[in-house]
Amino acid sequence: MKAKLAALPMSYRLAVTSRVLAAVFGGYLVAALASVTLTVWLPLNRAEAVVTGMTVSFLVYLVAVLWCFACRSAWSAWVGLLVPSVIMATVSGVARGLGYA
Protein backbone atom coordinates (compact mmCIF):
# COMPACT_ATOMS: atom_id res chain seq x y z
CA MET A 1 0.00 0.00 0.00
CA LYS A 2 2.95 2.26 0.69
CA ALA A 3 4.27 1.82 -2.84
CA LYS A 4 0.82 2.58 -4.16
CA LEU A 5 0.57 5.59 -1.90
CA ALA A 6 3.65 7.14 -3.41
CA ALA A 7 1.85 7.25 -6.74
CA LEU A 8 -1.32 8.66 -5.25
CA PRO A 9 -2.27 12.24 -6.09
CA MET A 10 -1.93 15.07 -3.57
CA SER A 11 -5.70 15.51 -3.40
CA TYR A 12 -6.08 11.94 -2.11
CA ARG A 13 -3.44 12.49 0.56
CA LEU A 14 -5.08 15.72 1.69
CA ALA A 15 -8.44 13.96 1.86
CA VAL A 16 -6.97 11.20 4.03
CA THR A 17 -5.34 13.80 6.30
CA SER A 18 -8.64 15.63 6.54
CA ARG A 19 -10.45 12.43 7.51
CA VAL A 20 -7.84 11.63 10.16
CA LEU A 21 -8.17 15.13 11.65
CA ALA A 22 -11.96 14.83 11.56
CA ALA A 23 -11.80 11.44 13.28
CA VAL A 24 -9.39 12.51 16.02
CA PHE A 25 -10.59 16.03 16.86
CA GLY A 26 -14.13 16.08 15.42
CA GLY A 27 -14.74 12.66 16.95
CA TYR A 28 -13.57 13.88 20.34
CA LEU A 29 -15.84 16.91 20.09
CA VAL A 30 -18.86 14.74 19.28
CA ALA A 31 -18.02 12.36 22.13
CA ALA A 32 -17.54 15.18 24.65
CA LEU A 33 -20.78 16.86 23.58
CA ALA A 34 -22.63 13.53 23.77
CA SER A 35 -21.42 13.07 27.35
CA VAL A 36 -22.59 16.58 28.27
CA THR A 37 -25.98 16.12 26.59
CA LEU A 38 -26.54 12.80 28.36
CA THR A 39 -25.48 14.33 31.66
CA VAL A 40 -27.91 17.21 31.49
CA TRP A 41 -30.89 15.20 30.18
CA LEU A 42 -30.62 11.91 32.08
CA PRO A 43 -33.10 11.76 34.99
CA LEU A 44 -30.38 10.76 37.45
CA ASN A 45 -28.62 12.60 40.21
CA ARG A 46 -25.69 14.76 39.17
CA ALA A 47 -22.77 12.45 39.87
CA GLU A 48 -24.48 9.38 38.36
CA ALA A 49 -25.43 11.28 35.21
CA VAL A 50 -21.85 12.49 34.82
CA VAL A 51 -20.43 8.97 35.18
CA THR A 52 -22.99 7.58 32.70
CA GLY A 53 -22.20 10.33 30.21
CA MET A 54 -18.47 9.67 30.41
CA THR A 55 -18.92 5.89 30.16
CA VAL A 56 -21.04 6.14 27.00
CA SER A 57 -18.91 8.84 25.34
CA PHE A 58 -16.23 6.36 24.18
CA LEU A 59 -18.82 4.37 22.22
CA VAL A 60 -19.85 7.63 20.51
CA TYR A 61 -16.19 8.37 19.77
CA LEU A 62 -15.80 4.92 18.22
CA VAL A 63 -18.82 5.34 15.95
CA ALA A 64 -17.65 8.82 14.96
CA VAL A 65 -14.20 7.53 13.96
CA LEU A 66 -15.66 4.66 11.94
CA TRP A 67 -17.99 7.13 10.24
CA CYS A 68 -15.08 9.36 9.21
CA PHE A 69 -13.47 6.54 7.26
CA ALA A 70 -16.63 4.85 6.00
CA CYS A 71 -18.34 7.86 4.44
CA ARG A 72 -17.94 8.83 0.77
CA SER A 73 -15.78 11.92 1.08
CA ALA A 74 -13.75 13.90 3.57
CA TRP A 75 -16.36 16.66 3.39
CA SER A 76 -19.15 14.36 4.43
CA ALA A 77 -16.96 13.16 7.30
CA TRP A 78 -16.82 16.72 8.68
CA VAL A 79 -20.51 17.42 7.99
CA GLY A 80 -21.51 14.17 9.64
CA LEU A 81 -19.68 15.22 12.81
CA LEU A 82 -20.48 18.91 12.90
CA VAL A 83 -24.25 18.58 12.40
CA PRO A 84 -24.74 16.32 15.45
CA SER A 85 -22.31 18.53 17.39
CA VAL A 86 -24.41 21.63 16.74
CA ILE A 87 -27.60 19.75 17.63
CA MET A 88 -26.16 18.40 20.87
CA ALA A 89 -24.67 21.76 21.84
CA THR A 90 -28.09 23.36 21.29
CA VAL A 91 -29.95 20.66 23.19
CA SER A 92 -27.66 20.86 26.23
CA GLY A 93 -27.69 24.65 26.02
CA VAL A 94 -31.50 24.54 26.15
CA ALA A 95 -31.36 22.29 29.22
CA ARG A 96 -29.03 24.76 30.88
CA GLY A 97 -31.39 27.62 29.95
CA LEU A 98 -34.33 25.73 31.44
CA GLY A 99 -32.35 25.31 34.61
CA TYR A 100 -31.81 21.54 34.42
CA ALA A 101 -28.07 21.83 34.65
Partner 1 sequence: MKEGFRQAMAWLHTWAGLLFGWLLFAIFLTGTLAYFKDETNHWMQPEIPARALNAEASLTLAQHYLQQHAPDASRWIIGLPDARDPGLKVRWQQSAAKPGERGQFTSKILDAQTGAELQLRESMGGEFFYRFHFQLQMPYPWGRWLSTIAAMVMFVALISGIITHKKIFKDFFTFRPRKGQRSWLDGHNALGVLVLPFHLMITYSSLVIFMSMVMPASILASYGTNVRAFYDEVFPASNVPEKANQAAALAPMAPLLGKAREQWSGGEAGWVSVNNPGDANASVVVSRSGSDRVVHDFGSAVTFNGVSGQILAASPQQPLAMAIAGGFYGLHMGHFAGPVLRWLYFIVGLAGTAMIGTGLVIWLGKRQLKHARSGVMPFELRLVEVLNIASMAGLVGAVAVFFWANRLLPVSLAGRADWEINAFFMAWGLSVVHAVLRPGRKAWIEQLALAAALFAALPVLNGLTTPYHLGVTLIQGDWALAGFDLTCLATGLFLTWAAWKMWRAGATARLKKTPRETARPITLEQGAN
Can you give the binding site for partner 1, defined by CB under 8 A? 1-3, 31-33, 35-36, 38-40, 44-55, 57-58, 61-62, 65-66, 69-70, 92, 101
The minimum distance between CB 31 and partner 1, in angstroms, equals 7
Instruction: For residue 42, report the phi and psi dihedrals to the nearest 5 degrees.
Output: -70, 135
C-alpha–C-alpha distance, residues 11 and 35, integer Å: 35
Other beta carbons within 10 Å of 64: 24
Closest CB to partner 1 among residues 48, 79: 48
In this complex, which beta carbon is closest to partner 1, that of residue 84 or of residue 92?
92
Q: What is the 3-state secondary structure (H, E, C) of 51-82?
A: HHHHHHHHHHHHHHHHHHHHCCCHHHHHHHHH
CB nearer to partner 1: give 58 or 75.
58
Minimum CB–partner distance for residue 52 and partner 1 (Å): 5
Nearer to partner 1, 2 or 99 (CB): 2
Q: How far is the CB of 83 from partner 1 (least distance, A)?
A: 19
Radius of gyration, CA atoms only, the chain = 17
